[in-house]
Structure 1
Amino acid sequence: MTDKPIARLAVIGLGMATKPHLEALTELRGRVAVSGVFNRTRAKAEAVQETYGFPLFDSLDAIAADPGTDGVIIATPPNQRADIVAQMAGAGKHILMEKPVERSLAAAQDIVGVCEAAGVTLGIVFQHRFRAGARRLRALINDGALGDLALVRAEIPWWRGQDYYDIPGRGTYARDGGGVLISQAIHVLDLMLSLTGPARAVQALTGTTALHRMEAEDFATAGIEFASGALGSVVATTATYPGEVERLVLDGTKATAVLTGGQLRVTWRDGRTEELGETAGTGGGADPMAFPCDWHRDLIEQFAGAITTGASPRIPGREALRVHALIDAMVRSGADGQLADVEVV
């Protein structure tokens, strides 16, 4: 443990997605300090203060003007992000933001541009990359242990009850930017692209099943051509009751890797196998927050260290645009039934 915190962060937005952040920041006491929390509903902020003991900010202006705040964690709904990012970046505050970057690829590009122009660090919360199994798989790919990648399969069979979508704004284009793709599957799709490299083109089918009343899609499937030449498929839904663990399969010329939630199994063609990882929940069932805070803890600590040393965060904003480009192409293809190119970002 260091003699003093490596960074002081404020938390903006205290909705459901903030819980693992608050738990992680509690575990990081002494290494990362919380300068304060802010929520537009004061009662919510006071409840968080009572539970966690973090100080309160009365306004966004107070955060922007606070010389003791190095950066902010923004966990508001996507439609509330642009103005907050502009204000904090303009004040020189580094930004760690919940996914998605924004509701559309174009809006996400604007946010990345604002942060780059202001010279502040922008990191995005894709905590699935911090699981032990995902980290080991990344190392194996870097070492060439799987050989050349040939086939990729991503399966996200999650469940959300109608009560989830009955909350105003959930599953709408105006607040969330869409349905299962941008709100849930984005985590696995980002992890996939971090391992496979960018996608080149997709052919998709999207729609809303009879199991939900919502504006956007609760089901999406697509065939993908990757820039490497590998082929792949994605199936994502929030209509599989009671929800199953997501699964990512990478078939290489030397081995096949299967990442089921946080558990990795690698089978080499010479008969060797390797298994590791955790069995913790992943939020695929009725409780979206049914997972530990460990991944958020490691992500936040790495971000705090990065803004202190000037290093890059593990998941910089510009890199996060790749998954937005893939989702954008899937939505376009699902709408017109045509093969869609994935924008190079």
Structure 2
Amino acid sequence: MQTIGVGMIGSGFMGLTYSEVVAKHAEGCRLVAITGGRRAATLAADYGVTAEASVESLLARKDIDAVVLATPDLDRLELTRQAAAAGKHVLAEKPMAPTVAECDEMIAVCKAAGVNLGVVKTERYRKITRKAKEFIDNGEMGPVRMLRTVSAFPQSLAKQLFDERAWMTDPRGGGLFMGMASHNTDFLRWLTGRNALRVFAQATTYSDLPGPPLSVMANIVFEDQIMADMWITSELPDPSLPSSEVRFQVFGRDAMLDLENFEYLDVSRSGKWERIYTPERFDYLKEPKSPIRLFPHRGVIQDFIDSIREQRPPHVGGAEGRAAVEICEACLISARTGQAVNLPL
């Protein structure tokens, strides 16, 4: 089977992340070139690959079979158009795009070109989340009835991110809300194995920070009358909430589950709580290349590469990316209109 040549579009934190994974962790692929962003030349030098002057020149290379779009979400549709036209497979960071309409076009152009479209959903590849999914799927909880999820950050972090990533305040993009919530909405769908049917939400920004809403509370109804609450905010005072960066709680007929991505997985069964998993520790900011941090990213890349080599769709493709964005967009529509929004849009 062929070794897949990968081009990296984007050289920020996630460009570094996926360059490291492609170059040193994933199998059946090799990093060929990097373009885009002020760090592209340095990042390319670090991995001994070419720093291409433009997206066009990178896509023109015959030794590149696929590209990773580690770019702002508002750029992904146009980059996907260009990549598909050049016959390159596409892996898009999350959120897939700021709107369902853009997701639909990304899906359409890749289908027309006969190339794979994958979407980054690291929550599906963490050891701790897979254990949670296994606990639900093995039937110990009985039918799932309700879920609750929180992603909360302090306002000081939002200010720092906006200073470093001005594109997050661009009204054409999904902003920090979609960047956070697209994880949560996909994870809710994945855990339940159900589609969302209706969304009612409120959204606002309490501070003077620009861009899309920074605080959203939503009620989501899934198939089989499964109810979920989702709270996304980046406006809490320091030091924010303990164990709230990415937290999920699942309530079934017979048992309950409480999960914080980087802290613990607790389950309640037979009338008592017990800790069934504690993830390995790492420093997110100081150890960006830690194998512990990169484990779910390797899972994303490996499935994408395998899908190309095996000539099959990726397990997490455009439909999954679109569905996560659809719930997020429905939240914003509901908040704007004051009405519940039925899905699909």
Would the TM-score normalized by the shorter structure come out above 0.5? yes
Shift, 1:256, TM fit? 0.9
Residue correspondence of structure 1 range 1-345 to structure 2 within 5 A? 6-28=3-25, 31-39=28-36, 41=38, 44-159=39-154, 160-166=157-163, 167-174=165-172, 176-180=173-177, 182-196=178-192, 197-210=194-207, 212-240=208-236, 241-243=238-240, 244-262=244-262, 263-269=264-270, 273=274, 275-280=276-281, 292-343=293-344
Kindly indicate whether the alpha-carbon contact (under 8 Å) linking 1:153 and 1:250 is maintained by their aligned counterparts in 2. yes
User: Residue 100 of structure 1: SS of its match in structure 2?
Assistant: coil
For the residues of structure 2 that align with 1:30 and 1:299, how far apart are their CA atoms? 12
Specify the code of the residue in structure 1 equivalent to 2:252: G
Distance 1:137 1:11, change over 3 A: same
Farther off after superposition, 126-135 or 254-263: 254-263
Cα contact 2:266–2:273 (8 A) shared by 1: no
Which residue identity is paired with 1:215? G
Q: Provide the C-alpha distance between the structure 1 equivalents of 2:170 and 2:280, rounded to a whole number of angstroms.
A: 32
**Contact conserved, 2:7 with 2:33, CA < 8 A, in 1?**
yes
Aligned residue identity for 1:302: D
Give the letter aligned to residue 224 of structure 1: I
- 1:283-334 Cα distance to aligned partner (Å, 9 max, x none): 7x9x999982221122112211111001332311112111111111110111
- 8 A contact 2:257–2:265 mirrored in 1: yes
- Over residues 261-302 of structure 1, what are the superposed CA-to-partner deviations in whole Å (9 max), with x where a residue is unaligned? 14322222465845124154697x9x9999822211221122
Query: CA separation in 2, counterparts of 1:112 and 1:265?
Result: 38
Judged with a 3 Å threshold, the aligned counterparts in structure 2 of structure 1 residues 230 and 40 are, in CA distance, closer, same or farther, namely closer
8 A contact 2:26–2:302 mirrored in 1: no
TM-score w.r.t. length of structure 1:
0.88
The range that moved more, 64-73 or 158-167, is 158-167
Once the two structures are TM-superposed, the CA of residue 46 in structure 1 deviates from its matched residue by: 1.4
| Structure-2 change in CA distance of 1:295 and 1:317 (3 Å) | same
One-letter amino acid of the structure 1 residue matched with residue 251 of structure 2: D
Q: Report if the CA contact (8 A) 1:256-1:268 is conserved.
A: yes
State the Cα distance separating 1:184 from its structure 2 match: 1.5
Identify the range of structure 1 (189-198 vs 136-145) with the bigger mean alpha-carbon deviation: 136-145
Alpha-carbon RMSD across the aligned residues, in angstroms, is 2.7
Structure-1 separation of matches of 2:283 and 2:186:
15
Say how many residue pairs are matched.
335
Q: 1:5 to 1:119 in 2, by over 3 A?
A: closer
Q: Check 1:206–1:193 CA distance in 2 against 1; reply closer, same or farther (3 A cut).
A: same
Write the distance in 1 (CA, Å) between the matches of 2:343 and 2:175: 18
Q: Which secondary structure state, in structure 2, belongs to the residue aligned with residue 228 of structure 1? A: helix
Instruction: Report the 3-state secondary structure (helix = DSSP H, G, I; strand = E; otherwise coil) of the residue aligned with 1:8.
Output: strand
* Kept in 1: contact 2:186–2:320 (CA 8 A): no
- Partner Cα separation in structure 1 for residue 26 and residue 334 of structure 2: 46
Contact 1:5 1:30 in 2 (8 A): no
Shift of 1:45: 1.7
TM-score normalized with structure 2 length: 0.88
Q: Matched residues in 2 for 1:215 and 1:55: separation?
A: 35
Percentage of pairs with the same residue: 23
5+ long unaligned stretches in structure 2: none
Distance 1:331 1:54, change over 3 A: same
